[in-house]
Chain A
Amino acid sequence: MQLRTLITLHAAAATKTPERLPPDVRAREALKLVDSFGECDERTRRQAAYYALHPEQFWGDAHCEQVLDVVAKHCVNGLGLDIGANVGATLDAVRRCAGGEDCAGVIAFEPNPANLPLLREAADDDVTIVERAASDVADVTVAFNLPTGTDQVSCLCFFALMALPRRRASSSLQKRRATPSAASPPLMMRTPLMCSRRRWIMR
């Protein structure tokens, strides 16, 4: 095993040990971990050590509020984009960061038909819903993205869909390649079924 790998493993274990080690030991190990990647300037080194010592601070999005408050305070009014709007839970935050009541409107992109009824319900008059996914390719894709923690159900659904006669599956799920046109502009990907984090893409 390479020396750097050994140092990294040891230092990582030490820095991740919750308060059982004295702060100075954890801090030393954090610096050792950071230094094992090579040289960098002092400020970056300190910031990376802070990242190593506080992994809990950089996980999840619950703590975004403070940053969004700053954005809302300093933003110049304009459009708000909510790309991956889901059921519209973040529409208000997007509007707030685009100028609040004075914003020029919000455009919400959401390809999952299952989410659209709730999204429409959550959307105020200034929200334009685009029922497509944003992408850099013009294509039609079927994505199976079932909720996490439902492995058995997911597998059943997957095999049930695979078992469908090919013609029927093709027509019901709109599984086809697309050509750019007025009805299907480029840079868009339509995704008829996309629920959450587990994903199978069938082409």
Chain B
Amino acid sequence: MDHEVKGRVAFAKIDVEGHESSVLRGMEVTLRHTDCLLVECSDLATDSKEPVLKLAAFFDERGFDSYRVGADCLLPLWGRHYHPLYDEWRYWSNVIAVRRDCAGLAEALAGLADVVGLDGAREEALLVGE
């Protein structure tokens, strides 16, 4: 990868059927000048099942915020935001990672990561549930 890519990468999409960790390890140099990545995380038994935690930690160490992509929101995964349920219940889904120093984009994605108030009725029920 690092042999082929010269220059700043604005966006990378990775869909390699469970081999995303190999690809990411092979693009260490490229990652240093990459702004944003979308990684498909497969849930298939035949594919490698690297934990989401490991993927989130990989991005965190390299200065990226990572999120699980949902229909109406993003779930933050890095650091204290990670919850083991995200690995216990795995779906075929996507993770998006954005470099923290890309201020505009990082802030825009963080704005999609607020689930509080997203679903009023359920949020109320969650409060009642306590």
Contact = CB atoms under 8 A, between A and B. Distances in A.
B109 A59 contact: no
A197 B36 contact: no
Contact of A82 (B13, B26, B75, B81): B13
Contact of B109 (A57, A67, A77): A67
Contacts, number: 238
Contacts of B72: 57, 63, 66
Interface in A35-80: 37-38, 40-41, 43-61, 63-64, 66-68, 70-71, 73-80
Interface bin, chain B: 35 or more
Interface in A66-120: 66-68, 70-71, 73-84, 86, 90, 93-94, 97-99, 103-104, 107, 109
A136 B10 contact: no
Interface string B80-124: 111111101101111010000010110011001001101101100
29 contacts: A23-B122, A34-B85, A38-B84, A43-B81, A45-B83, A46-B116, A50-B119, A51-B85, A51-B86, A52-B89, A57-B70, A59-B92, A61-B69, A64-B69, A67-B38, A67-B69, A74-B105, A75-B35, A80-B12, A81-B5, A81-B11, A104-B10, A107-B4, A135-B19, A136-B26, A137-B26, A186-B3, A187-B3, A188-B3
Interface of A: 8, 12, 23-24, 26-28, 30-31, 33-34, 37-38, 40-41, 43-61, 63-64, 66-68, 70-71, 73-84, 86, 90, 93-94, 97-99, 103-104, 107, 109, 130, 133-137, 145, 185-189, 194, 196-199
